Amino acid sequence: MVPVTYYITLSAVLFTIGALGVLVRRNPLIIFMSIELMLNAANLAFVAFANAHGDLRGQVFVFFVIAVAAAEVAVGLALIVAIYRSRRSINVDEMSSLKG
Amino acid sequence: MTVELILFIVLALVALATAVGMLISRNAVYSALFLVLNFATIAVFYLLLSAPFIAMAQVTVYAGAIMVLFLFVIMLLGGDQLAPSKALPWQRPLAFTLALLLASEAIYLLLFRGRPAGGIQPAGEIFGSPVNIGTLLFNSFLLPFEVTSVLLLVAMVGAIVLTKREKGEAG
């Protein structure tokens, strides 16, 4: 029997790798993938706790997280395509038009 | 050392290796493929945690739909290889320090300050079955479910509007 803390530790480490990806990479597509990795780490913790407590509502919440992530990716990738059209570049360091 | 523990360790190593591979790949296409593998291993974790419905949703929505969208945009923009910029030289060491801090803090809080929650139950056929999920979803969570459908519609319209070319716009 695997203790639930193992799953939680794995989830925490995966979340950290995702956060590190957002911090160090400059490609917005990789940053988006890192965000998806963080969402997945949170989902893993949800499902592990749902199992440990014998409560299905954790799994239902993961279902909603997956639906919201799909919407988020569609809009986010559309934004990246629109930015690429207007600036011919997707480097996040160059997206500084709003800076005063 | 039970079979489940060995399976967990092997899968956890694969998940960590693919996550790190996603992080350090220079080519965005490789990153996306590493992430597909990572999502697949997490789907197997869901099966071990007796959540078969979530596991299948993970494979179809994440590894299927979302990653195909990612690969499509990567190839459309040709942004698969971006030159590393040196805008902020102190950013990288600072990021690693902060990430280490976050990991130690999260693991400390989860392991030593949280309530002990026992072990993972052996995978039951009944617990996370589509029937049980559906019953809960359409009774207790009917309103959030319907709101989710509106959210997906709004996201679809938004994505189309954002990427649509204005009339007469070149390129």
- Residue B168: what pLDDT? 62
- Residue B122: what pLDDT? 62
On whether residue A72 sits in a domain, the answer given is: yes
Q: Give the tens place of pLDDT for each residue, A40-77.
A: 999 999 999 888 888 889 999 999 999 999 999 999 99
| A80 touches B: beta carbon within 8 Å | yes
On whether residue A79 sits in a domain, the answer given is: yes
Write the secondary structure of chain B as one string of H (helix), E (strand) and C (coil).
CCHHHHHHHHHHHHHHHHHHHHHHCCEHHHHHHHHHHHHHHHHHHHHHCCCHHHHHHHHHHHHHHHHHHHHHHHHHHCCCECCCCCCCCCHHHHHHHHHHHHHHHHHHHHHHHCCCCCECCCCCCCCCCHHHHHHHHHHCCHHHHHHHHHHHHHHHHHHHHHHCCCCCCCC
On whether residue A96 sits in a domain, the answer given is: no
Q: Which domain holds residue A49?
A: 4-89
Assign A3 to helix, strand or coil. Answer: strand
In terms of Cβ atoms closer than 10 Å to its own Cβ (0-12, 13-18, 19+), residue B59 is middle
Which residue in B22, B34, B126 has the most chain A C-beta atoms within 10 A of its own C-beta, making it the best mutation to test that interface? B22
Mean pLDDT by 10 residues, chain B (171 residues): 87 94 89 94 91 91 90 81 66 86 84 66 70 89 94 93 74 51
pLDDT class for A91, splitting at 50, 70, 90?
confident
- Residue B85: what pLDDT? 60
Taken in order of first residue, the domains within chain B and their CATH numbers are 1-80 (1.20.120.1200)
**Cα(A55)–Cα(B14) distance, integer angstroms:** 28
| A55 touches B: beta carbon within 8 Å | no
On whether residue A37 sits in a domain, the answer given is: yes
Q: What residues 5-24 of chain B have any CB closer than 8 A to a CB of chain A? A: 5, 8, 12, 15-16, 19-20, 22-23
Domains contained in chain A, number: 1
What CATH number corresponds to the domain at position A73? 1.10.287.3510
On whether residue A97 sits in a domain, the answer given is: no
On whether residue A99 sits in a domain, the answer given is: no
On whether residue A19 sits in a domain, the answer given is: yes
- Residue A61: what pLDDT? 93
On whether residue A27 sits in a domain, the answer given is: yes
| B108 touches A: beta carbon within 8 Å | no
